[in-house]
Chain A
């Protein structure tokens, strides 16, 4: 790790004001991703601002039937919270599918949203990477790219966002609350992360001087019909090759509303609302699930080692829908 200076923020306003004073300063909370990146010399902040003492570690009712998860609530505390388990079991399952028990005890809500890609070239400072060193090139395109993206890629970057929790939050239609120099504002979850385009160094639309304070869950939690299916190289403690969060509202054998978010396939949790709409009012049949799966990957592009993900994503969508409708028991 490079040497850095350190301060502890006592208030939200103090944290936002401290980050604005130094453009090489970073907030730190759980530290599970940032410290790892600092040990690899991928991240070299000059100053760390410890936000762990800010009053953002609570889960509260929002007043419109939803829940507000403070940015500092740990992944474990969110996943095992009784209200989350009852009303948003999809979120709980997605969180528990990720990382290890130790990491979930440390990692926070805000940090999960801001975690960086696990692309091996991003981590290896001896190789080019447009995300780590803009303009240096992409080692993954034409290189080893088994874990890389198949949707929404650019000729600059094919990295994926590694989160499980964010895939569930995307399906649930969460809202991100942010405080910056101009006060508090919100971002819809679909507008928080971004595609790489020509600026893959930017993972999100959060500005450098802004702090995530909470994630709001809407009232509708899809507690009855949902599934989180994660396909990975080993059964536990591995990132997703492909994951699918499926959330359904059923009316007898018909689908009233379907939400599908995919992880491991793009630079952000991937939702295709046009494809989801194909299921509205349709019978819950495998044939209809296959049609949606085809639509989701219609524009998918493989890069060699990861081309298998196109077929894998299709099958995972169908199986997640089978699980969410009760046709198949979750494995």
Chain B
């Protein structure tokens, strides 16, 4: 470091912006990327990788539209620096279907008409995948509480709840994860 604790200044670090090389598994495909340290995972997905399914809503972790799965856990990609996730597995809404077969939650959202404008839907679905992975929701009330990080300005909550609960019950019935 060029200065001591008492000689701090406001200028940004000298020299060209230093990018860092990272590797991510995005929807099952390995990606080698050069990222500036201030690039959020959300911006990397949307701007660099063209995966625009993941939405930027509030960009402050309040709305859940940017929810993706990192190493199987749901997180807000807007409050995540890409450089800190080097080596991670990232799943976005684009990675949920298997070929032409939709994920059961995607099917259930269609069946229950669980959206209006659709902007929050990718985040809702990724969050619901995380919720079912966690296995903590046993009732509709539990789902309501554990999905509170995903806002829907259209107010499609009753149908979102019904869609998620249908998949939860189906999995419980089959004894699957």
A residues near B (Cβ < 8 Å) are 1-6, 20-24, 28, 31-32, 35-36, 39, 44, 46-48, 50, 52, 76, 80, 99-103, 105-106, 235-237
Instruction: Tell me the chain B residues, 59-101 only, with Cβ under 8 Å from chain A.
Output: 59-61, 64, 67, 73-76, 79-81, 83-84
Flag if A31 contacts B84 (CB, 8 Å).
yes
13 contacts between A and B (CB under 8 A): A4-B13, A20-B5, A23-B8, A32-B61, A35-B79, A39-B60, A46-B8, A50-B83, A99-B149, A101-B149, A105-B73, A105-B74, A237-B149
- Complex Cα distance A327/B60, Å? 40
- Complex Cα distance A5/B15, Å? 11
Binds A, one of B47-55, B103-111, B128-136: B128-136
Closest 3 pairs between A and B when the two form their complex, measured CB to CB? A100-B149, A6-B37, A236-B148
Flag if B18 contacts A5 (CB, 8 Å).
yes
- Complex Cα distance A47/B76, Å? 22
Nearest neighbor of B73 in chain A, beta-carbon distance: A105
B residues near A (Cβ < 8 Å) are 1, 3, 5-6, 8, 10, 12-13, 17-18, 20, 36-38, 40, 59-61, 64, 67, 73-76, 79-81, 83-84, 127, 130-131, 134, 136, 144-150
A36-B61 CB under 8 A given contacts A6-B83, A22-B1, A236-B145? yes
Set A3, A28, A32: member contacting B12, Cβ < 8 A: A3
A28-B75 CB under 8 A given contacts A2-B12, A5-B18? no
Flag if A101 contacts B74 (CB, 8 Å).
yes
- Complex Cα distance A236/B146, Å? 9
| 11 more CB-based (< 8 A) A-B contacts, given A46-B12, A99-B149, A101-B134 | A2-B12, A5-B18, A22-B1, A32-B79, A35-B80, A36-B60, A39-B60, A100-B64, A101-B74, A102-B64, A102-B67
* Residues in B whose Cβ lies below 8 Å from that of A80: 136
A101-B79 CB under 8 A given contacts A3-B12, A4-B37? no
* Residues in A whose Cβ lies below 8 Å from that of B36: 3
Flag if A101 contacts B8 (CB, 8 Å).
no
Nearest neighbor of A237 in chain B, beta-carbon distance: B148
Nearest neighbor of A48 in chain B, beta-carbon distance: B37
- Complex Cα distance A23/B12, Å? 13
Set B13, B59, B130, B134: member contacting A46, Cβ < 8 A: B13
Set B18, B76, B134: member contacting A103, Cβ < 8 A: B76
* Residues in B whose Cβ lies below 8 Å from that of A35: 40, 79-81
- Complex Cα distance A39/B61, Å? 11
A5-B84 CB under 8 A given contacts A23-B5, A237-B149? no
Nearest neighbor of A238 in chain B, beta-carbon distance: B148
* Residues in A whose Cβ lies below 8 Å from that of B8: 22-24, 46
B112 to chain A, nearest CB (A): 21
A102-B127 CB under 8 A given contacts A22-B1, A23-B5, A80-B136? yes
